[in-house]
Structure 1
Amino acid sequence: MSVLIDKRNTDYDRLTSVARADAFLDDTERVAAEVDHTLVADRSKVNRFTGHLTELRVAGAPAFGARGQATAATPDTGYIAQAKDYVASVAEAIGFAAGEPVEFAADPNVTTTSEGMRVVSLQQMLNGIEVWAMAPKVWLFQDGTVDRVIGDTVSAPADLPTKPVVPAEVALRVAAAKAAEPRTLRGAFGDDELPRLDVSDGFERLSHQPLNDQPMTFSKGPFEEAIPARLVYLYMGDDYRLTWMFTLSRENLAAQYHAFVEADARTKDTNAPEILYFYDTVSHAIAGHVFQRNPGESTLDKVPFPLPTTGYPTQVPSGLPTGFPLAWAERHNGKVSTEGNNVRALNGTTRRPFEVGVDAAGNGDFNPAKDSPEQFVTNIFYFCNYMHDYFMMLGFTEDQGNFQTTNVTGLGMGADPVRAFAHPGPVSGTANMATRADGLEAVMNMGLVSGTGRHTADDGDVVFHEFCHGVSNRLVGGLFDANGLREEQSVAMGEGWGDYFALTTRNFSSPQERVVLGNWVVNRSQGIRQRPYDSEYPGTFGDIGKGAGEVSGAGNRDLTYQEVHDVGEIWCASLMEVTRKVAAALNDKERGYRVTWQAVVDGMKLTPKNPSFLVARDAILRAFRAMKGGRLTNAEYTSVRHAAWEAFVRFEMGFDAFCPNATFTGCQGGTAMPPAGHED
């Protein structure tokens, strides 16, 4: 994500700016007595920007009780009702004052971890309008008992305006003018130029709501897709603003902008409203017969589509659709193409799939010429389907928001395969992935790297990294909008998760650990990152926000940690160290990898929107704890937990690490192990 405009005062410290803003921390015991169970509030887990607690631990909360268990026909409704009622009952322990409005809407999709934890994603509302970026999650056990409330909320006055003064058409004109500006997309693959667009013809309102304060859609004009618009409250730190929010997509989704334009006309000019927040959501990498790794490490091998489960490093869990892995390619009129249920791989120029004929037995063979447009399409089709099935075996299934046209179980939304474009030549962004809500296609673009003449569709490092953006965006962001990685640390973790899975999926069966990413496609031995991801990786949590010359240690003066890809390296290096140490603790590399992968994926499900590194760390540790007595014996869990904490401590994410929020400001490293008796 690239932020182009941000008028929020993200340095605002509500705890020092508002009298007794932290008084709720002293009232936890009173609220606990009212709800008749234990609440644990840690003063170090307050977002100083919002002044609210980001984690409330719970013990002894009631199960479903009088409401009754969720029924088989509507398995999520009971958990959603339980979560919303519970948050309302403990709101004063989170930071809301008595009498303040406490209003939440719920993502209708309840996520389930591999160990059966239910996760309800909430969105704070006020006067029926979304309060932007305030989206906690509630963790529940299968019987409805709440385990934890985690994520951001904020107190807001009930008398905020509800009706826009600025018409939507006027606000859109301002947002579209900004989105239409030329822009240079900078990355390790080289710079790409987005040209200026002509928006002089304006935009037609496609949905004709009678009132100007309802969600609506406008024609796409020169943009790639129709433009949705809705009202949201934007918390500014020392202020609250009613804004119009628009999503504007450039060609091939090389950039997809979220624009927040004032709707309350504080500028006093309703014809020239101000943009308050504007950012690009697309994750840009700066960083048949297919190359199963890249042309430098493998040849064009004939591989079955779909790949059998024995071709994956994961184990096949129970509960997957009968016949898994399901067909990748579809047959039509005696042909088979690279359009399937999971992935629609297309030539970026013709927008057509690669088709081949089938024989009398129905067999087809995608056998394109090397370095041809058809070969690039076939390769991206293979890599994306591989990752689809890999993550499905780790719990990114139909009911958890995966990418499929048709969900054979009838769960989830469907109609959202990955639309993967392999552009024959260079393309703006070179390699990127745009993820939308469950039920809307994700879009991936892979193109030729101008400096090397090598294609990103041929490099598993790049495609795996980008596919993982879709997974983390949906599992952390929630299926309702898949947009939960917006703050700086959150975006950085999206990059780190992508690097981690791109590397560890290879390292599982490799005798030599791979610690460099993207070296083939850029033809550079050190790859596209600052340092190799080995155990000596120098960056730590305490280095976040530091520029050149500020990172301590001999030979580290050229390192910088002020940009999301660079900071993401710290997250990836930490997860790789967790994997090494867990494997060593279990004295079993394969099992160590599998257990850690599962904890990382389950941790994404548990992680609330806009997390810091420390919030995501705690979610992974909680995912390990859920394996105790099941996937791990009690003794194994003790060893694994200690190993994971050691790895986080190595990267200064110890028990005493601190950050005031999820920006790059104020990160303080810590190297303390948790105290005896502490439960993750």
Structure 2
Amino acid sequence: MIFNKFFASVFLAVVYASTTLAAPWPVSSKHATHRTRHISRDLQIETFHPESTYETFGAGIDHPLSKRDNPSLEDSTVAFVGSKLGIDHSKINFKAGYSAESAKYAYVKQFHDGVPFANAVANVAFNHDNKVVAFGSSFVTPSSIPDSKPSISVESAISTAEKALSGTYNQFPATIEYLAKEDGSVALTHVVQIRNEGAGTWYEAFVDAHSGDLVSVTDFVAKASYRVLPIQKEILTQGFEVVTDPQDTTASPNGWHNDGTASTDTSGNNVISSIGSTTTSESASGLVFEYTQNPSAAPTTSANKNAAVTNNFYIVNSVHDITYRYGFTEAAFNFQNDNFGNGGADGDRVTVSVQDSAGTDNADFSTPADGQSGHMRMFLWDETSPERDGALENDIVVHENTHGVTNRMTGGGTGRCLQTTEAGGMGEGWSDAFAEWTEHSDNTVPDYVMGQYVINDPAGIRTHPYSTSKTTNPLTYASIATLNEVHDIGEVWANILHNVYAALVAASGFDADAPTTPSSTAGNAVYLHLFIDALPLQPCNPTLPTARDAWIQADVNRYGGANSCTLWNAFASRGLGQNAKNHVDDSTVPDGC
């Protein structure tokens, strides 16, 4: 079973391929800026992402337009970034922004000669007093920069990318962008999307527009009445139930089965869930999806397939509605076909392939930019007889879906900003942490185990349960120094967040209605608000310390810092104190805590 746990931990490839950093660099030294992508047996690419600087400002600081009446978010952002970095406004381009309950968020790119930089970006957050409360930047000062007019055609670049990545150009419009390189130089690149649906790959390829070489990639893949496993339950042995009208019409105003046209199958505005890419579960009687799963029969029997598709449809919609209530809205780049005029790009509901035939013992979620559908693949697990279906283990479905939330909300909806080893690992941690959040039912915080049903092992697929006990789970911030695989790094972050959750619930209690009552002051509602609020605050490719700072700032923005000491003490208890850096533990907390 040790092999089974290792196998599952490595290959539950929910967003990213396994990663190994090459010598001669120490394992931890490149976590914040690099990621080695193993494309094939013959090709691996070490991607580079300029290190982000990040500052938070508590109650906020003024910006150059502070004394104007109602300056626009765009003008305020460009003025602040230009002033802060000492660069001309012509080198800054506003990309996206939106106003939420506790703050306003804006995202910009560095430009040269009218061409954007793909990996030199910045984000600014303003409170509703028009003061800057957070700033992250990976802008660069190039040592050299090539001509902005390509020497090779986009057709040639597509051919190169298709051959190298064993896929096909998906017709998403190609762009010309600069790419900052590790040596301080810059490449002009054609940026094209290459996809191989059969292999489950989806890359954004950066082909040097002068040399024709493939120089980098973004990997988008992060490996009415219904009879379902309610979202508060983890595994099907806890019992299916019939739930009636579970949709939250605040988040899904037309319900779950209407994207402008009513349906009687497992498709709607937020998600379409099907076996493979073809067969949805069709209701024979209105909207009654009550299929009885038979655990003794193969998952591929008709009733079991319908049960799996129905459960998946229910869980993905439930995650949509919960996260919508807490800030993952249309303007914040969520997944919907119809955005009802509320901002963001339409036409990108999640597509789900249940019992996908491309693999086993696995699951993944692809997150392209806002306006392109997120894609989830759920596989069968073959470590038992009969096989077990990952779509029937709620924590796995929620984990997958959460990758879409964190990838969209970090960096302004680009899908590009959790690409380094450390940031990718944190993506895994957030996904485990939100899966855990959905399953709490009272103010107790027991140890939490991921993935126990699919491998039939109560120890699950992680190396340790998530726990407040250092005996049960000894992982701390410093553990990352010896880790180089994203799921292993994710365990560190998820366990820290487990301790943050426990501290907030101990301080402020638990509200069973929190999924639909974001106004609750209970600890579990506070936790989820800070979880979601911190995502747009943090910089592109965050580290654990910058993500921690975003949580602290999120608490200032929403709660006036009322939970500051609770948060600091929880973070510090696992090594992420004020002076933690370079994967060395620190237990320091601010004076007064």
Is the CA contact 2:63–2:80 (under 8 Å) kept in the aligned structure 1?
A: no
1:129-170 deviation line (CA, Å, top 9, x unaligned): 222322211111224322332232211257532122233333
Distance 1:673 1:55 in 2: 18
| Paired position in structure 2 for 1:357 | 284
| Paired position in structure 2 for 1:299 | 239
1:467-498 deviation line (CA, Å, top 9, x unaligned): 1011111111312x232111111111111000
Is the CA contact 2:235–2:392 (under 8 Å) kept in the aligned structure 1?
A: yes
Q: Post-superposition shift, 1:236?
A: 1.8
Correspondent of 2:495 among 556, 559, 573 = 573
Distance 2:23 2:214 in 1: 11
DSSP-derived class of the 2:124 partner? strand
1:7–1:450: structure 2 CA closer, same or farther, 3 Å change rule?
A: closer
| Paired position in structure 1 for 2:452 | 519
User: What amino acid sits opposite 2:586 in the alignment?
Assistant: G
| Paired position in structure 2 for 1:602 | 533
1:54-86 deviation line (CA, Å, top 9, x unaligned): 33749541585675426xxxxxxx111110111
Aligned-pair identity in percent equals: 26
1:571–1:51: structure 2 CA closer, same or farther, 3 Å change rule?
A: closer
1:63–1:162: structure 2 CA closer, same or farther, 3 Å change rule?
A: closer
**Structure 1 unaligned spans of 5+:** 14-47, 71-77, 181-196, 198-219, 266-272, 310-319, 547-560, 660-666
User: What amino acid sits opposite 2:551 in the alignment?
Assistant: I
1:356–1:332: structure 2 CA closer, same or farther, 3 Å change rule?
A: farther
| Paired position in structure 2 for 1:75 | none
Q: List structure 1 runs of 4+ shifted beyond 6 angstroms.
A: 3-13, 331-335
DSSP-derived class of the 1:83 partner? helix
Asked whether 1:277 is paired with 2:216, we answer yes
| Paired position in structure 2 for 1:55 | 55
1:330–1:529: structure 2 CA closer, same or farther, 3 Å change rule?
A: same
User: What amino acid sits opposite 1:304 in the alignment?
Assistant: T
Asked whether 1:233 is paired with 2:178, we answer yes
Q: Post-superposition shift, 1:232?
A: 2.3
Distance 2:106 2:262 in 1: 45
| Paired position in structure 1 for 2:584 | 668
1:148–1:69: structure 2 CA closer, same or farther, 3 Å change rule?
A: same
Q: Post-superposition shift, 1:229?
A: 2.9
The TM-score normalised by the length of structure 2 is 0.81
Output aligned runs, 1:191-590, within 5 Å.
220=168, 225-226=170-171, 228-238=173-183, 239-251=185-197, 254-265=200-211, 273-278=212-217, 280-284=219-223, 288-292=226-230, 293=233, 296-307=236-247, 320=250, 326-330=254-258, 336-348=264-276, 351-358=278-285, 363-370=286-293, 371=299, 372-423=304-355, 427=359, 430-452=362-384, 453-479=387-413, 481-509=414-442, 511=444, 513-535=446-468, 536=470, 537-546=473-482, 561-586=483-508
**More relative contact order, 1 or 2 (CA 8 Å, 6+ apart):** 2
Q: Post-superposition shift, 1:253?
A: 7.3
Output aligned runs, 1:44-83, within 5 Å.
53-55=53-55, 57=57, 60-62=61-63, 68-69=69-70, 78-83=72-77
1:587–1:300: structure 2 CA closer, same or farther, 3 Å change rule?
A: closer
User: What amino acid sits opposite 2:484 in the alignment?
Assistant: Q
Distance 1:275 1:237 in 2: 15
1:342-388 deviation line (CA, Å, top 9, x unaligned): 11112215x13221234xxxx43112342422222111101101101
Distance 1:61 1:334 in 2: 49
Distance 1:328 1:62 in 2: 43
1:56–1:454: structure 2 CA closer, same or farther, 3 Å change rule?
A: closer
1:179–1:489: structure 2 CA closer, same or farther, 3 Å change rule?
A: same
Distance 1:274 1:418 in 2: 33
Q: Post-superposition shift, 1:674?
A: 2.7
1:29-66 deviation line (CA, Å, top 9, x unaligned): xxxxxxxxxxxxxxxxxxx9958743374954158567
1:425–1:482: structure 2 CA closer, same or farther, 3 Å change rule?
A: closer
1:289–1:514: structure 2 CA closer, same or farther, 3 Å change rule?
A: farther
1:252-299 deviation line (CA, Å, top 9, x unaligned): 67221232222232xxxxxxx433223533111xxx111223554333
User: What amino acid sits opposite 2:476 in the alignment?
Assistant: T
| Paired position in structure 2 for 1:126 | 112
User: What amino acid sits opposite 1:248 in the alignment?
Assistant: I
DSSP-derived class of the 2:207 partner? strand
1:140–1:63: structure 2 CA closer, same or farther, 3 Å change rule?
A: farther
User: What amino acid sits opposite 1:447 in the alignment?
Assistant: F
Distance 1:455 1:140 in 2: 45
The TM-score normalised by the length of structure 1 is 0.71
User: What amino acid sits opposite 1:55 in the alignment?
Assistant: E
Q: Post-superposition shift, 1:334?
A: 9.7
Distance 1:5 1:276 in 2: 19
| Paired position in structure 1 for 2:32 | none
**Structure 2 unaligned spans of 5+:** 1-15, 30-47, 294-298, 513-521
1:455–1:405: structure 2 CA closer, same or farther, 3 Å change rule?
A: same
Q: Post-superposition shift, 1:9?
A: 11
Distance 2:591 2:118 in 1: 36
DSSP-derived class of the 2:178 partner? strand
User: What amino acid sits opposite 1:85 in the alignment?
Assistant: A
1:52–1:332: structure 2 CA closer, same or farther, 3 Å change rule?
A: closer
| Paired position in structure 1 for 2:7 | none
| Paired position in structure 2 for 1:169 | 155
Q: Post-superposition shift, 1:226?
A: 2.7
| Paired position in structure 1 for 2:577 | 654
1:164–1:610: structure 2 CA closer, same or farther, 3 Å change rule?
A: same
| Paired position in structure 2 for 1:200 | none
Of residues 607-616 and 242-251 in structure 1, the stretch that sits farther from structure 2 once superposed is 242-251
Task: Supply the RMSD in Å over aligned alpha carbons.
Answer: 3.3
